[in-house]
């Protein structure tokens, strides 16, 4: 593997969710430890599952990995980090300020913005604490899905610029002294990440056009914060041992074409291609095989029977009220965009007015649809445009009667990076409102960003409740999301351990917010494609346990088989929901 040649102290794995980034990072840690190095494996993903990969509980404490000498692991817990961060901010002023003011500071530090800053504090310590760094020969970072990672890395520059301006929004930052002392640490962390002698960036993708385009975007965005170059790993490529049945041939041709057309922005990077394995990458022995190039022949254990669960059944139920909000959620890379587009196309073809929109910064709805349809309107909540419109709105309303100094102070407050989430949430709220008269289908961002959006929804709900109290009735966007008659949340996953685990965690998070998911979609199932060769049958068998787990988590399941042709274009999207429900 090129990316494992003469590795520096820090190895930084990033990429869109669902590409196998965690598996590659974990296998790298096992490989380096096998070379006699002292290795610390760190996850910065809010939905980390490296503990599940190794079959043990890790959490926010450096934990030795049983069976691998010289390997330790750590999962940065965002909630734990946020609690510790709040305490550092509040402790110096506790007892010095009135209780009511202290409560206001605590409330201001309860949002998602604070959680991101707190997580980054722990992340930067691992890069800059010299005594900690020298304790290990290598620190391997398994990062959050791409969008969250970029936002994390932009925070040092964003906060430095914001602090240099002299003022901040207390509802986001708390006392500025709490951040001021971290400016030098943040700058040192970015310097370490930008130094190729200390840090190696490994961009992980799948052999899919959308995945490779996304990884090019990641490379460009990382370059903007000074992290350039790196290595490209294309993971999970179907090997020749998969056979020559039509589905295998079609997938292999599709992957070969995608690899041959690697985007220019990453085409010059050193490239490694990893074969798809017959089993899941769970446990040390499985991880040790990930970089093997020779696949052993597999015995024929027969086909796996998985009952058909067509997506068309979902559309039949969703259509009945004549309007409503459909939220497709899940980890990035599981096919949320495809599922959202297929449902929207089906509803439009049945004569309904449908608004298909996305909150995903990396969305590619236009590329999925490849055409237009009467009754179907497509839009994207563009974060930059949303922020610009939000700032203009606040200046035109709240700032209308302010003097020049007060307007300047307000404009400065609106430079807070937290403004981004508020602005996107404002446009999301408009989409929720539309669902009372037509269908609104939302392709959400990967899980981490979706939870930030829902956190903003909950914060807004709490603020309105506090301001209005019992004096008059009100309805907030969160109340609409909690209304099962209006809102249907569909969790999209793959029949693999990590995506199912993360979707399950998302379901728990939604339930804590009073939102009960309506159904699940298992996408790209090999088992549902009824393969005939030993390799694909082995992959199918590995899916059965996860499919059964999904069935135990929800009343409604739809299963979309792995297709010979990608579901791009109106006709192929319509075909996903065209299967008539089978009699019970």
User: Which of 28, 43, 45, 455 does the annotation list as catalytic?
Assistant: 45
User: Is 18 one of the catalytic residues?
Assistant: yes
The one catalytic residue in 15, 17, 18, 333 is 18
Are β-strands 63-64 and 71-75 bridged in parallel, bridged antiparallel, or unpaired? antiparallel
Distance (Å) of CA 106 to CA 121, 406, 452, 495: 18, 26, 18, 41
- Grouping H, G, I as helix, E, B as strand and the rest as coil, residue 379 is strand
CA distance 48 to 61: 14
Question: Is 63 part of the annotated catalytic residue set?
Answer: no
* Structural element, H or E, at residue 443: strand 439-443
CB under 8 Å, gap of 24 or more: what pairs does 215-219 form? 215/15, 215/16, 215/146, 215/263, 215/266, 216/263, 216/264, 216/265, 216/266, 217/146, 217/265, 217/362, 218/14, 218/15, 218/16, 218/146, 218/149, 218/150, 219/265, 219/266, 219/269
Backbone dihedral angles phi then psi of residue 135, each to the nearest 5 degrees = -70, -20
Q: Which of 15, 17, 20, 335 is catalytic?
A: 20
Catalytic residue among 14, 22, 171, 338: 22
Is residue 358 annotated as part of the catalytic site, yes or no?
no
Q: Is the CB of residue 203 less than 8 Å from the CB of residue 172? A: no
In the three-class reduction of DSSP (H, G, I as helix; E, B as strand; rest coil), residue 112 is classed as: helix
Cα–Cα distances (Å) from 370 to 311, 343, 569, in that order, read: 21, 15, 5
Contacts 24+ apart (CB under 8 A), 273-277: 273/207, 273/233, 273/234, 273/237, 274/20, 274/24, 274/233, 274/234, 274/235, 274/236, 274/237, 275/236, 275/237, 275/238, 275/239, 276/236, 276/237, 276/238, 276/239, 276/242, 276/539
- Which member of 337, 416, 498, 542 is catalytic? 498
Strands 231-237 and 271-275: parallel
Rounded to the nearest 5 degrees, what angle is found at the Cα of 187, between the Cα atoms of 185 and 192?
A: 95
Going edge to edge, which strands form the sheet with 231-237?
63-64, 71-75, 39-43, 138-142, 10-14, 199-206, 231-237, 271-275
Tell me the two tokens of residue 548: 């059964």
478: its two tokens: 């969160």
549 catalytic per annotation = no
Active site residue 471: no
3-class state of residue 48 by DSSP: coil
| Per-residue DSSP letter, 495 | S
Per the CB < 8 A criterion, the answer to whether 179 and 173 are in contact is yes
* Identified catalytic residue from 16, 21, 277, 331: 21
Q: Is 168 a catalytic residue?
A: no
Residue 140 in tokens: 């391997």
Rounded to 5 degrees, φ, ψ at 356 are -100, 120
How many Å apart are CA 500 and CA 508, to the nearest integer? Answer: 12
Catalytic site residue 444?
no
Eight-state DSSP code of residue 505:
H
CA distance 199 to 14: 13
User: How many residues in total does the chain contain?
Assistant: 584
Give the residue numbers marked as catalytic.
18, 20-23, 45, 498
């Amino acid at each position: 593997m090129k990316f494992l040649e003469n590795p520096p102290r820090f190895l930084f794995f990033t990429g869109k969710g669902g590409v196998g980034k965690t598996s590659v990072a974990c296998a790298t840690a096992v490989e380096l430890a096998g070379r006699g190095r002292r290795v610390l494996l760190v996850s910065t993903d809010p939905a980390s599952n490296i503990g599940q990969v190794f079959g043990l509980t890790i959490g926010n404490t450096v934990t030795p990995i049983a069976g691998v000498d010289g390997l330790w692991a750590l999962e940065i817990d965002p909630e734990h980090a946020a609690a510790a961060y709040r305490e550092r901010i509040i402790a110096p002023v506790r007892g010095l300020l009135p209780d009511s003011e202290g409560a206001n500071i605590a409330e201001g530090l309860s949002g998602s913005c604070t959680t991101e800053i707190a997580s980054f504090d722990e992340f930067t310590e691992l890069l800059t604490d010299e005594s900690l760094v020298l304790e290990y020969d290598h620190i391997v970072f398994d990062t959050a899905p791409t969008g969250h990672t970029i936002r994390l890395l932009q925070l040092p520059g964003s906060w430095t610029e914001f602090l240099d301006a002299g003022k901040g929004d207390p509802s986001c930052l708390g006392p500025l002294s709490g951040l001021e002392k971290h400016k030098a640490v943040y700058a040192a962390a970015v310097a370490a990440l930008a130094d190729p002698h200390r840090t190696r960036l490994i961009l992980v993708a799948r052999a899919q056009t959308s995945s490779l385009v996304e990884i090019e975007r990641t490379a460009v965005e990382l370059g903007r914060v000074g992290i350039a170059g790196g290595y490209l790993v294309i993971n999970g490529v179907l090997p020749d041992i998969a056979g020559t049945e039509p589905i295998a041939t079609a997938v292999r041709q599709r992957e070969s074409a995608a690899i041959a057309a690697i985007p220019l922005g990453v085409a010059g990077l050193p490239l490694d291609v990893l074969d798809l394995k017959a089993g899941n990458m769970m446990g040390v022995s499985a991880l040790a095989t990930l970089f093997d190039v020779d696949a052993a022949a597999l015995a024929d254990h027969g086909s796996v029977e998985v009952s058909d669960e067509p997506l068309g059944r979902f559309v039949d139920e969703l259509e009945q009220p004549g309007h409503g909000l459909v939220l497709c959620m899940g980890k990035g890379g599981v096919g949320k965009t495809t599922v959202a587009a297929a449902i929207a196309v089906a509803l439009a073809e049945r004569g309904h007015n449908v608004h298909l929109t996305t909150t995903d910064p990396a969305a590619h709805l236009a590329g999925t649809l490849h055409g237009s349809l009467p009754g179907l309107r497509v839009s994207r909540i563009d974060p930059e445009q949303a922020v610009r419109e939000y700032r203009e709105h606040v200046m035109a309303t709240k700032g209308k009667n302010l003097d020049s100094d007060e307007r300047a102070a307000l404009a400065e407050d609106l430079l807070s990076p937290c403004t981004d989430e508020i602005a996107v949430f404002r446009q999301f709220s408009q989409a929720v409102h539309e669902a009372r008269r037509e269908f609104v289908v939302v392709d959400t961002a990967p899980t981490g960003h979706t939870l930030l959006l829902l956190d903003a929804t909950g914060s807004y709900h709490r603020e309105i409740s506090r301001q209005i109290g019992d004096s008059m009735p009100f309805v907030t966007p969160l109340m609409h999301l909690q209304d099962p008659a209006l809102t249907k949340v569909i969790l999209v996953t793959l029949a693999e351990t990590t995506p199912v685990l993360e979707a399950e965690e998302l379901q728990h998070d939604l339930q804590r917010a009073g939102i009960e998911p309506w159904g699940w979609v298992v996408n790209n199932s090999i088992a549902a494609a009824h393969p005939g060769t030993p390799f694909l049958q082995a992959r199918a068998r590995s899916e059965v346990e996860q499919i059964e787990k999904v069935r135990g988590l929800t009343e409604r399941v739809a299963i979309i088989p792995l297709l010979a042709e990608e579901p791009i274009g109106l006709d192929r999207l319509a075909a996903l929901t065209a299967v008539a429900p089978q009699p019970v």
